[in-house]
Amino acid sequence: MKIVFINGRLIGPKHPPYIIAEMSGNHNQSLKKAKTIVRLAAEAGVDAIKLQTYTAETMTLPGVWTVEDGSLWEKRDLFDLYKQAYTPWEWHKEIFDYAKQMGITAFSSPFDESAVDFLESLNVPAYKIASFENSDIPLLRKVASTKKPVILSTGVADIGTIEKAVSTLRENGTTEIVLLKCTSTYPASAETSNIRTIPHLEKMFDVVVGISDHTKGIGTSVGAVALGARVIEKHFTDDRSLGGVDAAFSLEPQELKALVDESHQAFHSLGTVKYGIQEVEKQSFMYKRSMFVVKDLKKGDVLTEENIRILRPGLGLEPKFYDIALGKKVNKDIPKGTPLQWNHFLSDNEYG
């Protein structure tokens, strides 16, 4: 189904991009900072703020893995990292209520089935499936059973994994799906973003498409809009200098506002295939070139390269008629500065 409806907002090919600000762990375990992030995201013009719903205990066990992938979290114990990054569940309702007060939608990414039950108790309008969870079939079945729209990131997944995720969602009750092109590196580079995949995803799975963009700027997201992305998810923080688990690749308020403005600009600029002079261009036609008489002429004078030139504005004959005009005789006196017209030429039967 190529239309998704989230909390009163239609999302689809003919609708402007739906912008999601991902808070992740950028609240730095401060509810006050979390609400500041919500407020600033709303002021930037986003459609939604997104949380992540898990605990360290629902993600992993202490001491089973130390991050050694060259990422921002190098040498961190995975359990300790999640303890730092998680959003306390008791904050969720207050954050969701505050987002509603600020005029934006709030929802979350559940990371296990208990998180889905919890989010259902808060009556969330949609669910996001993170890339690392797109192969968790029990979680997908659980989310699908809610019958709510699902936004699914496609990082670290081959076509078979994506197909299995989509079919699982559809077979278990989900009718509204958004697939996000995602490169799961932190930060990601433009060179590995491969946003040409976006229209292919749309065609292959007949869904609304978008991007979960981990690059540092906004260019990749704006470019994705031109390729059909109608959902954009970007990590967001109030101030990168204050740190946070995802701060290094998160946008700040002025950048998020630029993303909202420029992605909408990109969408509205798509238009249709159109050639010729548009109605809005008609006044500008005056600034095109045309032929002018540049020396005083007497009746019977021949037009030459010395007495006519191609100049602005477009008041005379178009330049494409220049070769036809050369050698013609004029049928009256013409002062310098006159735009040349067809009715200035002697007719063929006047040539003698």
Residue by residue, DSSP assigns 269-321 as HH-----S--GGGTGGGGGS-EEEE-S-B-TTPBP-TTTEEEESSTTS--GGG
Q: Which domains does the chain have, with CATH numbers?
A: 9-270 (3.20.20.70), 279-350 (3.90.1210.10)
Tokens of 228: 């059909």
pTM: 0.89
Pairing mode, if any, of strands 18-22 and 231-235?
parallel
296-332: pLDDT as tens digits: 999 999 999 999 999 999 999 999 999 999 999 999 9
pLDDT along the chain (352 residues), means of 10: 91 97 96 98 98 96 80 77 93 98 98 98 98 98 98 98 98 98 94 97 98 97 98 97 89 98 98 92 92 98 98 97 97 98 85 54
Q: Are strands 9-11 and 4-6 parallel, antiparallel or unpaired?
A: antiparallel
Give pLDDT, residue 331: 96
Beta-strand runs (E) in 156-289: 177-182, 208-213, 231-235
CB atoms within 10 A of CB 261: 14
* pLDDT score at 66: 87
Q: Which amino acid is at 9?
A: R
Nearest to 90 by CA among 46, 136, 132, 34: 34
